Structure 1
Amino acid sequence: MYIEQGRKGKLGMWKYLFPPLGFFGLMILNFLVSLLIGADTETVMQDQIETLGKPLFFLIAVGPFVVFLGALFFWVKIVHQQSITSLTTSRKKIDWKRVFFMFGLMALYICITTYIGYIIAPDDYEINFQLQPFLILAIMALILVPIQTSFEEYFFRGYLMQGLGIATKTKWIPFVITSVTFGLMHIANPEVSKLGPIIMVYYIGTGFFLAIMTLMDEGLELALGFHAANNLVTAMLVTSTWTAFQTDSVLLYTAEPEVNLEILFPVLIIFPAFLFILTKKYKWSGWKDKLFGKIEPELQTEE
């Protein structure tokens, strides 16, 4: 069982406190600073881009996750003395086929929906492709974005999921808490100020989708693939002046966003469709126990 993998190391629940306190502390500080400044997020971002340029702005935005992921792996390996494999999956080794399958499925969805959107409303898009800036973006994104998304998965669906599960001896508590906190982590994103609180339904819904995949599949592989594709393909294919990623992408979405059911379309339609495909492919069963069951009693004494 995936959550029980957290026991493959030296326990002591105090050890689980420091990484969340550090990361959430930084997120809360960032949010409070943005509130105190009171400036429009989009305006601030555009000023920074004009000063720094898109490549450097992108590096500053995503680069810290290299440190975050390295620090988390160090803490898991040295303090918990747990292997990265057991943090990743309940299988004997990481199943990279699962990672690439989910990456391909999500990448295909993004490409198809972007193409349809461009065909239906070409005036809403501007062709932004320039070879040299795009190649610089591609190199940076291929290295940094998977690190950024991997940190979020290892932190929320890995470290927190296992820690909360072992502490509460339940599956539903880590299932709910990690999903909601993942969504709330995006509250300072410019999309929230642009679209309003309704976009939080998408972020929290995505958190639940990723948690379901992790618990049903007994590992992070599918979540890692999905998240990497979502951020990487989007950053390279289409961005806008009001999204968190500001890159030299192929397309620039120039229309003003509207709050409508399209925002909820992935949560209501696409994610359930993906879960149906994955259920058939990997023969998932025992949904109630895997999502809401109890964790078996510990087999070793905490330190």
Structure 2
Amino acid sequence: MIDFFHPHVGRNKHRHYILTLFFIIFILFVGSFGFVLLDDLLKGAAKNSSYQAIAELISIGIYSLLTILTLFIAANWIHKRPFRTFITAAPKFRWKLTFLGAGLVSASIIFTFSIAMLFTPENFIFNPVSIRVFLSFFFIAILTIPIFAFVEDIFFRGFLLQWVGKFFKRPLFTIIITGIIFGSAHFANPEMDMNPVVVGLGYLLFGMLYGYTVQITNGIEFVFGVHTANNLLLAFFFSYEENGMGTDLSVWTMEYSNATFLITLFGMNLLWYVALLVIAKKRGSALFE
């Protein structure tokens, strides 16, 4: 199979990646004016803070679609290669890997959060969630969160990974650098207020873990499934007060503690990763076809 890190189709010199980056920045800068206007309109029509958070999710989803369109245009016009080559080295999108990733991380989340709730129940506060608000959030999140996750994956672990890969023959250096960039891009997230060192280190390590998983699977499909299911389940069921989405949108609010955070974040990611390695060893190359 073709090496996803080093595509050999189309135009892939540094100047093409630089031009694509500036094209993305320009389009998103122009689009940001519309994003701000749309966000203000939607939030102005919202009844309360919960609906304002839902409105923001809609705005982010639309802005993410613009980003995907920009990358699609750049792939075809600047790089002269199929948009698919930023996603996978396979001839077509491998949905089975996406569903496998989503299934493994879902099982990992259920297991690790059950353990955390068993041993540290004081850190989980049940929310009397409004069914109407929750269902509104549920349907909007189902539509928008996968789009946002796809944008992050295709940019950091598609476009950027392939560009950085031009500097290094060994994937390890590419994985480390793109993982650091991915993690650093999340340092402005509200969750960093909980514990900048622990949370920041988690972002960096799992940015690298996602990159290494892309190397194993030769595309972003599996990681996209992991990323999407992770974000959806945490948004629906477990939220920190610092997450910026509001705590009355999820079933439980979590009070931060280093123990709970380490058990849930590191535990759940370790489980799905080990499961992937075991399945890959048993199935061999057939898993990635």
- Which residue identity does 1:102 align to in structure 2? G
Provide the identity percentage.
21
**Per-residue deviation, 1:61:** 4.5
**Per-residue deviation, 1:209:** 0.9
TM-score under structure 1 length normalisation: 0.75
- Which residue identity does 2:58 align to in structure 1? L
Cross-structure match for 2:32: none
Paired with 2:50 and 2:94, the residues of 1 have a C-alpha distance of: 43
Aligned residues: 262
Please state if 1:148 is matched with 2:148. Answer: yes
Paired with 2:84 and 2:90, the residues of 1 have a C-alpha distance of: 8
Cross-structure match for 2:15: 14
Matches within 5 A, 1:1-303: 1-4=3-6, 6-20=7-21, 50=49, 53-119=52-118, 120-121=120-121, 124-246=124-246, 248-253=248-253, 255=255, 257-258=256-257, 260-265=258-263, 269-283=267-281
Determine helix, strand or coil for the equivalent of 2:272.
helix
Paired with 2:53 and 2:261, the residues of 1 have a C-alpha distance of: 26
Do the aligned partners of residues 268 and 144 (structure 1) sit closer, same or farther apart at CA in structure 2, a change above 3 Å counting?
Answer: closer
1:253-280 superposed Cα distances (whole Å, 9 cap, x missing partner): 153x12x244344665543443332122
Paired with 1:93 and 1:102, the residues of 2 have a C-alpha distance of: 17
1:238–1:252 CA contact under 8 A, matched in 2 = yes
| Larger helix proportion of the pair | 2
Structure 2 residues without counterparts, runs of 5 or longer: 30-47, 284-289
1:128–1:250 CA contact under 8 A, matched in 2 = no
Determine helix, strand or coil for the equivalent of 2:243.
coil
- Which residue identity does 1:89 align to in structure 2? T
TM-score under structure 2 length normalisation: 0.79
Residue range with higher mean Cα deviation, 150-159 or 160-169: 160-169
**Per-residue deviation, 1:72:** 1.6
2:109–2:268 CA contact under 8 A, matched in 1 = no
Residue range with higher mean Cα deviation, 121-130 or 168-177: 121-130
Cross-structure match for 1:43: none
Paired with 2:145 and 2:121, the residues of 1 have a C-alpha distance of: 29
1:163-203 superposed Cα distances (whole Å, 9 cap, x missing partner): 12124444233211110110001111111123223211110
Structure 1 residues without counterparts, runs of 5 or longer: 28-48, 286-303
1:235–1:247 CA contact under 8 A, matched in 2 = no
User: Pairwise CA RMSD of aligned residues?
Assistant: 3.0
Paired with 2:102 and 2:210, the residues of 1 have a C-alpha distance of: 13
